[in-house]
Structure 1
Amino acid sequence: MRIDCHQHFWEYDPKRQEWITPEMSRIRRNFLPGDLYPILQDVKIDGCIAVQADESLRETDFLLDLASQHEWILGVVGWADLGSDQLDELLDSYSSAEKLVGFREVLQSKDPRYMLREEFIRGIHKIGQRGYAYDILIFPQHLSASLELVSKCPDQRFVIDHLAKPYIKTEEWKEWKKAMTLLAERELVHCKLSGMVTEADWKKWTTDQLFPYLEIALELFGPNRLMYGSDWPVCLVAGEYEQVYRVVDDFTSQLSSTEKDRIMGETAAEFYKLG
């Protein structure tokens, strides 16, 4: 199965999506399943994982509702306040939501030490005990704290979104690689090949500029812990879905069919426990 492991849906609201700046005007509108499905068909992707873009339970419920209506939305990575004293009750309320496969918070907007709070780590343990994965959305300056988090939760499945957003625009990679190497040593840490074009120059990026980061990710994690994601529709500020897809498709063409199949879907299916 071929899977886009990372994309978003939303009904645009300037207050809820205040992170969409004026320079991102192209994505200041609704993006719903009817917009994505024809694109996935064109590139022969079988299904997707819908990931939260708003920090609210309303968002989690919205995505689960869409997933219930469209079988090709294979899973939902929702939001929950992992530090809440009512987390157990909340997780109980979602126990019948079969397509809820994990959780995420916008850690990139917070101080790196936020994820090391006792109550947050307690929450990570709780979702892990129930079989949920956790998506780590961060910038490179959060990598050190992320390593501490992972060390404190050794049995938890983690995936690093967007390669931790390396500084592709300025072509800085040495410190990023050093920190990612330490995370990659943890067997339950995976990485998404997603979100690269928006970390490059939106108007001038090239495939050759992105390949070195993909090569480093492949070296560190291997095909069994890498997964393709488009980050649609956010990617549209820098390129069409097909362009983003083609970068990873071309890169994986150098690999064996077995390795390519892992990156283009099988790793995600295994990580998120689909089916």
Structure 2
Amino acid sequence: MFIDTHLHVIDKTALDYPWLGGAAALNRDFLYESYEREARRVGIEAALHMEVDVAPALIERETDYVAGLAAREGSLIVGAISSARPEEEGFAALVERQQENPLVKGFRRVLHVMPDELSEAPMFRENIKRLSGTRFTFDLCVLPHQIPRAIELADLAPDVRFILDHCGVPDIKGEAVEPWRTHMREIAKRPNVVGKISGVIAYADAQTWTLDTLRPYVEHTAECFGFDRLVWGSDWPVCTLGGGLSPWAAATQALFGGCTARERAKVYRENARRIWGLD
């Protein structure tokens, strides 16, 4: 059984997602009901909703929307990672408000589509340090060449737990190994960083990828972080770009098939329960 630490719900009737205009394959509704049917079939027992980079004015409305999904009887959603803008003064007030909201487990600012310098801004860094002493995690979604900047953030706030999304977003389709491989080894030296094995089929050729295509990237991530600092995620619906949730879940089972039952349990669900305090 999996705890999915990276579910996106897209509901264009409820929220505005400016970036979808440039992402034709995802520019439609991907509703919770569709996810839930397939998720239960592949053995997902719970999920964290990951923010979907809504229009900034709607960040807290997205959290309210997810709360409504989580309140449904039998819902898989047990928590949310909220969008945030650490580069803005309002971040501190957002963190304060969400301290009272048990649904929110952490924050993310999408960085891989932003200028590299964003995370170097004094306000951004000061606000990241504000997470020290809180229960909140911070997800890092960065490209391989940006991992050194993620390392700087991890070093800046050593008592904040950072989650590195999507195995560091390797260019699997382009068969690129460096600098990703070296940077992954370096960021994993930081004990406050957790690696997320999530939806990497989206970065492979949808028509030709096999287990052997994914194996070097998944295995290197696991080798760097170890089984106590790995979590799993679907990255649905982005994973549909590489085939979908069911193929990704099946690939995960095959890739970790040689591990012990205890190691698989840690990656699939136990680490997530511990990190985010899930029941």
Name the TM tier (shorter chain).
over 0.9
What is the CA–CA distance in structure 2 between the aligned matches of 1:61 and 1:199, rounded to whole Å? 31
What is the CA–CA distance in structure 2 between the aligned matches of 1:241 and 1:217, rounded to whole Å? 20
What is the CA–CA distance in structure 1 between the aligned matches of 2:85 and 2:24, rounded to whole Å? 30
Deviations 1:177-211 (A, max 9, x none): 10111100011101111131111112222121001
User: Which residue does 1:258 correspond to in 2?
Assistant: 262
User: Which residue does 1:227 correspond to in 2?
Assistant: 231
Do the aligned partners of 2:105 and 2:136 also contact (CA within 8 Å) in 1?
A: yes
What is the CA–CA distance in structure 1 between the aligned matches of 2:128 and 2:278, rounded to whole Å? 20
What is the CA–CA distance in structure 2 between the aligned matches of 1:48 and 1:142, rounded to whole Å? 27
Counterpart secondary structure, 1:19:
helix
User: Which residue does 1:19 correspond to in 2?
Assistant: 20
Q: After the TM superposition, which residues 94-243 of structure 1 pair with which residues of structure 2 at under 5 Å, given as runs?
A: 94-243=98-247
Q: What is the deviation of 1:22?
A: 6.0
Counterpart secondary structure, 2:4:
strand
What is the CA–CA distance in structure 2 between the aligned matches of 1:156 and 1:99, rounded to whole Å? 19
Q: 1:20 to 1:252 in 2, by over 3 A?
A: farther
Counterpart secondary structure, 1:97:
coil
Deviations 1:229-253 (A, max 9, x none): 1111111122021101111111111
Root mean square deviation, CA, Å:
1.9
User: Which residue does 1:63 correspond to in 2?
Assistant: 66
Structure 2 residue ranges without an equivalent (≥5):
none
What is the CA–CA distance in structure 1 between the aligned matches of 2:162 and 2:203, rounded to whole Å? 22
- TM-score of the aligned structures, taking structure 2 as reference length: 0.91
Do the aligned partners of 1:64 and 1:97 also contact (CA within 8 Å) in 2?
A: no
Deviations 1:205-235 (A, max 9, x none): 2121001111101110111111111111111
What is the CA–CA distance in structure 2 between the aligned matches of 1:102 and 1:259, rounded to whole Å? 25
Do the aligned partners of 2:144 and 2:169 also contact (CA within 8 Å) in 1?
A: yes
Counterpart secondary structure, 1:227:
strand
**RCO higher in 1 or 2 (8 Å CA, sep ≥ 6)?**
1
Q: What is the deviation of 1:96?
A: 2.5
What is the CA–CA distance in structure 2 between the aligned matches of 1:123 and 1:6, rounded to whole Å? 23
1:246 and 2:250 aligned: yes
Q: What is the deviation of 1:15?
A: 6.1
User: Which residue does 2:36 correspond to in 1?
Assistant: 37
Task: Kindly provide the amino acid, as one letter, of the partner of residue 209 in structure 1.
Answer: T
Task: Kindly provide the amino acid, as one letter, of the partner of residue 36 in structure 1.
Answer: Y
- What is the aligned residue count? 273
Q: 1:260 to 1:148 in 2, by over 3 A?
A: same
- TM-score of the aligned structures, taking structure 1 as reference length: 0.92
Indicate the percent of aligned positions where both proteins have the same amino acid.
28
User: Which residue does 1:5 correspond to in 2?
Assistant: 5
Q: What is the deviation of 1:12?
A: 2.7
What is the CA–CA distance in structure 2 between the aligned matches of 1:174 and 1:82, rounded to whole Å? 29
Task: Kindly provide the amino acid, as one letter, of the partner of residue 39 in structure 2.
Answer: L
